[in-house]
Copies of this chain bind each other. A is one copy, B any other.
Amino acid sequence: MSENTTRPGAEPFTQRSPRVVAARRLTRRAEREKAGRFLAEGANAVGAALAGERGLVHELFVTADAAEANPELVSAARAAGARVSPVTDRAAAALSETVTPQGIVAVCELLGRSLDAVLPPAARLVAVLVDVADPGNAGTVIRVADAAGADAVILAGDSVDPHNGKCVRASAGSLFHVPLARTRDAHAALEVCRAAGLRLFGADGYAKTGLDSLALDVPAAWVFGNEAHGLPGRILESVDEGVRIPIYGQAESLNLATAAAVCLYGSAMALSPAERRSSGG
């Protein structure tokens, strides 16, 4: 190979260089599945990919400016055995799906684990997404689940590919923090959670039980449905309890990410013994 791209001073790849052209294909789901790799753009995502035990970085494309701004990421990539490939600004833009390319893009190994291996022993909090369509929503829920200390996120049924660029961005690095599994079979996802001793709560705007009348201090899997249609009836029949977030005003509903935040944090705060409510109120 004539280009030694890790040698300082080598000519940067352009948007027409074969490695960049090949990487650009990873913006498409079918190509990601075929290659078993995906793109993580931006210093935050790249940092999370390199820091996590779960993030396996194969190659780092980086512009001169981004390399100067993030020397620790370039070093970490080299230390992790990743190929570091200088690219032109236009090549970075070609690899970016945003209006303002950040000049730093990692080619990472796909993150999904098998459903059987995704839950750690003694899991206490899991988020299951069934048929969630919007990648931004999925990424935001993954971020919320991470913040709430969830042990895993399972994307089930027809849910979006979490390696989609919008999902990666919305997750703000959390994609690399929380164990993820994907399964077409939503019932299998529920069964894995049930077998782990988790109580299955299905978020449902029409449920009889309100979140405010629920005992939340139990290990739980929260199951969330599609943005427009909610959970399918057959899933609602399978959960232990359908749960409605009380609506105190005139809004018809919450959106998926804010509903997930209320439910997951409800459980997380009830389960956490670290900082108990200090007031007797």
What CA separation (Å) do A96 and B249 show in the bound complex? 28
What CA separation (Å) do A31 and B252 show in the bound complex? 31
Is the contact region of chain A dominated by helix, strand, or loop, or is it mixed?
loop
Residues on the B chain within 8 Å of A174, using CB: 249-251
Q: Does the CB pair A254–B144 fall under 8 Å?
A: yes
In the complex, A101 has a CB within 8 A of chain B: no
Q: Does the CB pair A250–B215 fall under 8 Å?
A: no
How many copies make up the complex? 2
Q: Does the CB pair B275–A210 fall under 8 Å?
A: yes
Residues on the B chain within 8 Å of A251, using CB: 143-144, 146-147, 172-174, 177
- Contact residue among B146, B249, B269 (Cβ-Cβ distance under 8 Å from A246): B269
In the complex, A149 has a CB within 8 A of chain B: yes
Q: Does the CB pair B265–A148 fall under 8 Å?
A: no
Contact of A277 with B140 at beta-carbon distance under 8 Å, contacts A251-B147, A253-B147 already known: no
What CA separation (Å) do A147 and B250 show in the bound complex? 6
- Contact residue among B213, B249, B258 (Cβ-Cβ distance under 8 Å from A275): B213
Q: Does the CB pair A177–B250 fall under 8 Å?
A: yes
Residues on the B chain within 8 Å of A7, using CB: none
Q: Does the CB pair B177–A140 fall under 8 Å?
A: no
Q: Does the CB pair B215–A255 fall under 8 Å?
A: no
Residues on the B chain within 8 Å of A260, using CB: 258
In the complex, A262 has a CB within 8 A of chain B: yes
What CA separation (Å) do A266 and B266 show in the bound complex? 8
Q: Does the CB pair A177–B276 fall under 8 Å?
A: no
Q: Does the CB pair A147–B277 fall under 8 Å?
A: no
- Contact residue among B150, B217, B277 (Cβ-Cβ distance under 8 Å from A214): B277
In the complex, A268 has a CB within 8 A of chain B: yes
Q: Does the CB pair A272–B257 fall under 8 Å?
A: no
- Contact residue among B210, B257, B272 (Cβ-Cβ distance under 8 Å from A248): B272
**A residues whose Cβ falls under 8 Å from a Cβ of B:** 140, 143-150, 172-174, 177-178, 210-218, 245-255, 257-262, 265-266, 268-270, 272, 274-279, 281
- A–B complex contacts, Cβ < 8 Å, 24 sampled: A140-B258, A143-B258, A144-B258, A147-B248, A148-B248, A149-B249, A172-B251, A173-B252, A177-B251, A212-B269, A212-B272, A213-B275, A214-B278, A214-B279, A215-B279, A218-B281, A246-B272, A246-B274, A246-B275, A254-B261, A257-B257, A258-B258, A265-B266, A270-B281
